[in-house]
Amino acid sequence: MHIVFEKRNSVSRKAILLVPTVSFLVSLILTGILLIIFKTNPFTTYSSMFIGAFGSWTNFTETLVKAIPLMLTGVGVGLAFKLRFWNIGAEGQLVFGGVAATWVALFWSPFLPSWLVLPTALVMGSLAGGLWAGIPAVLKVGLKVDETLVSLMLNYVAILLAQGLYYGAWIDPKGMGFPGTKLFPKAAWLPRFSGRAHIGLFIALILGVIMWLVLNRTRWGFEIKMVGQNPRAARVMGVKIGKSIITAILISGAFSGLAGSFEVTAISHRLQQGLSLGYGYTAIIVAWMAQLNPIASLFVAVLMAGLLVGGDQVQMMMGLPSAMGIVLEGMILFPMLAGSLFTDYRLKFITKSRSREAAV
Amino acid sequence: MKNDQKEKTPILEMRGITKRFPGVLANDNVDLELFPGEVLALLGENGAGKSTLMNVLAGLYRADSGTIRMKGEEIEIYSPKDAMKHGIGMIHQNFKLVQTMTVAENVILGLENEDFILDLKKVGNKIKDISSHYNLKVDPNAVIWQMSVGEQQRVEILKLIYRGAEVLILDEPTAVLTPQESRELNQIIKQMTGEGKSAIFITHKMDEVMEFSDWVRVLQKGKLVSVVRTKDTSPRELSKMMVGREVLFRVEKKPAQPGETVLKLENVTALNEKGIKALQNISLNLRRGEILGIAGVAGNGQRELTEVITGLHKVTEGKILVEDKDMTNKDPLEFINEGVSHIPSDRVAMGIVGDMSVAHNLAMKEYRKAPLTEYGILHPKRILAMAKKMITFFQIATPTPYTNVKFLSGGNIQKTILAREIGACASLLVAAYPARGLDVGATESVRKEMISERDNGKGVLLVSEDLDELMSVSDRIAVMNEGRIMGIVPADKADIESLGLMMAGVPQEELT
């Protein structure tokens, strides 16, 4: 008897919901095993993670603080993935966006009316993120350079560039050597509404919904789908593939750039070490788990942010490494990738005589 | 002839091979005999079942029924490895070589009896021996991607000899070769057969059959139709066997009423991906209210022809005019805006987006314009209404308009494409093999649509490998061979024999 994968006759709606849920549960079990090796009770660990992330309003605002950049980067990365453009450079796009916003906040603010400082910083941050993503896009469209490598390597360029700035040229002269720029003027601060949670949350939510509308209700979104699913057919149908890819990736990067601008204008109020907690990488999991749906990404981002915050709690309360939350995140991706097979395929058991045919 | 056969016993025998694919009978009770030291040519049009039969022999497919005997002994072939064990090896049209590895590495790839620690030097020496013996001129240390196509083919041959193949199957081996390389290949095969090895090669080129082979077997629509000795036949007779059959199908149609010229090609030359001339100096003229059929064995430039007149392929010389407007090397969108529609040859890869709905696929030409889009915003309701109308009118069998188009049958996928392209067509309809692989009912409706488009005053360019279809549907037939037009004849005056000869490369002027 053989077991083969057989293509389903229609996409399974059930699997679309089931796969991420089951994957999450499987990752809980896998991480649970790891926790037992660490001689820790997985149940108490998980419950204190949950309480840490969602147990009180204060805790929840911290989760929201981390959810905002994940929402934006998740939606941005998801757009790129829809085109089968493997932009894994959201981290770099976020950092570069943060650098650009810092530049505006520190050096342009004397020349701008104060009400214009913040919008300019956010716009410039988004543009910078788009530009950073545009490099692999143009290289891919023009010279067929692999976008995965370029976008990944540009992460290091952006991160080191930022480091160079806050350790060197832009270091706060009164900071006593602390690696960071001086504090932004108040005009460049993004208002907070509770704790550290800032109004970027609402912007991210609105942008996520807009992205869904654009993808599903506009001509441009229609073309993006065509190019992503079957570029050859899209070309026959007259779609300009290069143009579609470049515009979409610029927007993808702009989302991450905006996330970086929020981080500097709302959270740290300066460019300093620890600008990103790996949001750009977690974004990949967010986008995948949301099956590239921008609205689903918004919710998944909150869940993932909860893991990050909960991980910190576990470190403080149980003396476990805070990386536990990140381990859990990583653990989700494996069953996700394996499980996504089941949306298009199902298992079939067949006897020997028919196996040859099915395998071919 | 019978006596000859009795003197030798065949090294390989296939009896009653039948292979069915969903909806297609690819091989219908086919017999095959191969004698040691001889070359058998397998001749037939595209879709005649040649490759299927050989894939059965090479272990890629398993026949539904039938037996295979090697040296008189019945064998079971489950995989290419099994086939190789019995001395049968196949060289596919697309070579199965790892581009970044050397010749020696490719040759031993997958072999089980090599030592765990590879002795590539020993392998290299053996390769050198084989190479010099058969004059293959292959360097064991050369890396594949740096080699020409001809060299890569010789590596494939070497690979099979190294593994002890006695029967070599070559799938259209000369399709990618220059004439010189073809002659060299012929020499190599002659030497191998001189040493008692045998070869089967798939082809549809008459001159090669005459030059290479000892025996010819002709397949037609999955059936074996004739077996002849090469020396007892002629290209003329072979082409008749290959395409000759009674016209089974006639379509009711009024005489054409050609209007103004809608498409004009002036001395168009284009290169294919390999840099070989796929179209050579093509000139033709198509008027509104007329169907121009393009006949020819697949791979003689028809695909490139359809692609240069839809903006998908660049021309290197010449001019393309659509309604007197110079459209040479314009991009696909500009052709679409001129009202040029295209039913592509590879309908799943180029004609649809499988993971999008039937409704969206039906809208893929009209979505740019009002009423489906206004100010860049789509109107889902209008798309759905249009799709529903098309689904009813063209009788597309789909559970719902929202079903992903990849779940439809081939015929209904084609109807979806047809509905969309006809809906968007304003001047010229380019249809490549529109009825290929469809059942009788779907075929008939596709042909009727072609004719009704003609009667609506559009120009139709119909590429087909089915001469019956061309003779009954089109008004004029142009025959292509190796990227040239051999001649253009009115469909009602065309006869299958002269079309067959032109397809085989005889220019119209030389027909008597």
Q: Is-contact B64 B49, C-beta < 8 A?
A: no
The pLDDT-based confidence of B82 (bands split at 50, 70, 90) is confident
Average pLDDT on A195-217 reads 96
Nearest to B342 among A219, A236, A239 (CB): A236
Contact B350 A236 (CB under 8 A): yes
In a domain, A117, yes or no: yes
Nearest to A235 among B332, B360, B404 (CB): B332
* Contacts with B351 from chain A: Cβ below 8 Å: 233, 236
Sign of CA dihedral B368, B372, B376, B380: negative
Q: Could you tell me the CATH superfamily of domain B9-242?
A: P-loop containing nucleotide triphosphate hydrolases (3.40.50.300)
Q: Which residues contact B121 (CB under 8 A, 6 or more apart)?
A: none
Nearest to A232 among B350, B356, B365 (CB): B350
pLDDT, position B6: 47
* Contacts with B62 from chain A: Cβ below 8 Å: 356-357, 360
pLDDT in tens, B271-299: 987 788 899 999 999 999 999 999 987 77
* Contacts with B368 from chain A: Cβ below 8 Å: 219, 238
Q: Is-contact A118 A187, C-beta < 8 A?
A: yes
The greatest distance separating any two alpha carbons of chain A, rounded to the nearest whole angstrom, comes to: 80
pLDDT in tens, A30-79: 888 888 888 888 888 888 889 989 999 999 999 999 999 999 999 999 99
* Contacts with B331 from chain A: Cβ below 8 Å: 238, 240
| Dihedral Cα B35, B41, B44, B50, nearest 10 deg | 60
Structure tokens at B94: 């697309």
Segments forming the whole domain that contains residue A286: 69-294
Min Cα separation B368/chain A (Å) = 7
Contact B365 A237 (CB under 8 A): yes
* Contacts with B335 from chain A: Cβ below 8 Å: 238
Q: In chain A, positions 184-223, which contact chain B (CB-CB < 8 Å)?
A: 217-222
Nearest to A360 among B60, B367, B404 (CB): B60
- Pairwise CA distance, residues B17 & B27, whole Å: 7
pLDDT, position A360: 36
- Pairwise CA distance, residues A151 & A41, whole Å: 40
Please indicate whether the domains covering B9-242 and B259-332+460-512 agree at the CATH topology level.
yes
pLDDT at residue B30 is higher than 90: yes
* Contacts with B352 from chain A: Cβ below 8 Å: 230, 233
Give the least confident one: A176-190, B470-484, B489-503.
Answer: B489-503
Average pLDDT on B383-389 reads 95
Interface test with B, best of A16, A236, A247 (most B CBs within 10 A): A236
Contact B364 A10 (CB under 8 A): no
E strand or H helix that includes residue B126? helix B120-134
Q: Does domain B259-332+460-512 have CATH number 3.40.50.150?
A: no
What residue of B is the nearest CA neighbor of A223? B364
pLDDT at residue B4 is higher than 60: no
Residue B194, helix vs strand vs coil: helix
What percent of chain B shows pLDDT beyond 90? 42
Interface test with B, best of A2, A8, A83, A230 (most B CBs within 10 A): A230
A240 — contact with chain B (CB < 8 Å)? yes
Residue A158 has phi, psi (to 5 degrees) of -65, -45
Nearest to B312 among A222, A226, A235 (CB): A235
pLDDT, position B172: 82
Q: What is the DSSP letter of A182?
A: P
Mean pLDDT of chain B: 87
The greatest distance separating any two alpha carbons of chain B, rounded to the nearest whole angstrom, comes to: 80
Instruction: Please give the angle made by the CA atoms of B317, B321 and B326, to the nearest 5 degrees.
Output: 80
Average pLDDT on B167-176 reads 83
- Pairwise CA distance, residues B128 & B287, whole Å: 60
* Strand order through the sheet with B65-70: B24-34, B12-21, B65-70, B73-75
Place of tokens 């070579």: B95
- Pairwise CA distance, residues B398 & A305, whole Å: 43
A114 — contact with chain B (CB < 8 Å)? no
Amino acid (one-letter) located at B364: M
Give the count of domains, chain A: 1
pLDDT at residue A275 is higher than 60: yes
Q: Mark B236-246 as b/e (b = at least 16 C-beta within 10 Å).
A: ebbbbbbbbee
pLDDT at residue A347 is higher than 90: no
What residue of A is the nearest CA neighbor of B332? A238
Specify the higher pLDDT residue, B503 or A14.
Answer: B503
Domain ranges of chain B: 9-242, 259-332+460-512
Min Cα separation A360/chain B (Å) = 7
pLDDT in tens, B415-461: 999 999 999 999 999 999 888 766 666 777 888 889 999 999 999 99
Pairing of strands A197-198, A345-350: unpaired
